[in-house]
Amino acid sequence: MGKVTISFEMTLDGAFDQMEHWFDENDPGLQRASDELVFGADAVLLGRRSYEFFREYWPAQTDDRGFAAHYNALPKFVASTTLTGPLDWNCTLIEGDLAKAVRGLRGRYSSIVSHGYGGVAAALVDAGLVDEVHVGIHPFIVGNAEDRLRSPHPVGLRLLSTEVYDSGIIAAKYAPLD
């Protein structure tokens, strides 16, 4: 059975937006963690907003690590109730029951990474389909953010590991309570 990992970045006050003020894509620790996660993945799961943001950004990217080429080549599955297929950028639209679709993907792929913590991530947690949650906590307070960490109900997690990068970013890995 394949593993599903949710990965996201946020500020100390739980903001996801206004990333131009706080997200440092050149942080060596963050790059190392991203490399480990993405190079170990064989599929990506996105919600509509992440898909629309990433498809504008990633196809034009190149790097010496091969990260962009690998990420662009991965099969991607997009959960949306508003998009209609077919999708570009090596993506397949998930229509219908998300939990059922992800159970099927877990049977086909060994490591699925899902970026962001919006409705898709909350639904996956609610359905018990998440094996790990990776969060990068950036040392910033945005204050007026609209996008913040939310959950439909309390979710208990156990800490797997933490790492603090020289920039002050805290990388924490969690798993659902058994």
| Residue-number span of the structural domain to which 46 is assigned | 17-114+126-165
Nearest to 155 by CA among 131, 132, 126, 134: 126
How far apart are the C-alpha atoms of 138 and 42, rounded to whole Å?
A: 27
Q: Which H or E run includes 78?
A: strand 76-79
Per-residue model confidence as pLDDT tens digits over 100-137: 999 999 999 999 999 988 889 989 998 999 999 999 99
Which CATH number characterizes residue 102's domain? 3.40.430
Give me the mean pLDDT over the 51-64 stretch. Answer: 94
Does a structural domain hold residue 2?
no
Question: Is residue 175 a part of any domain in this protein?
Answer: no
DSSP state of 65: T
Query: Could you tell me if residue 87 is inside a domain?
Result: yes
Is residue 88 assigned to a domain?
A: yes
Mean pLDDT across the stretch 16-20? 82
For residue 119, is it within any domain?
no
Phi, psi dihedral angles at 5 (to 5 degrees): -120, 125
Q: Does 75 reside within a domain?
A: yes
| Tokens read off for 1 | 């059975």
Grouping H, G, I as helix, E, B as strand and the rest as coil, residue 42 is: coil
Residue 3 lies in a domain: no
pLDDT tens digits for 67-88? Answer: 999 999 999 999 999 999 799 9
6 within some domain:
no
- Confidence bin at 54 (pLDDT 50/70/90): very high
Question: Which tokens hold the place of 121?
Answer: 């991530």
As for how many domains the chain has, the answer is 1
- Examine the pLDDT at 178 and tell me if it is beyond 80: no
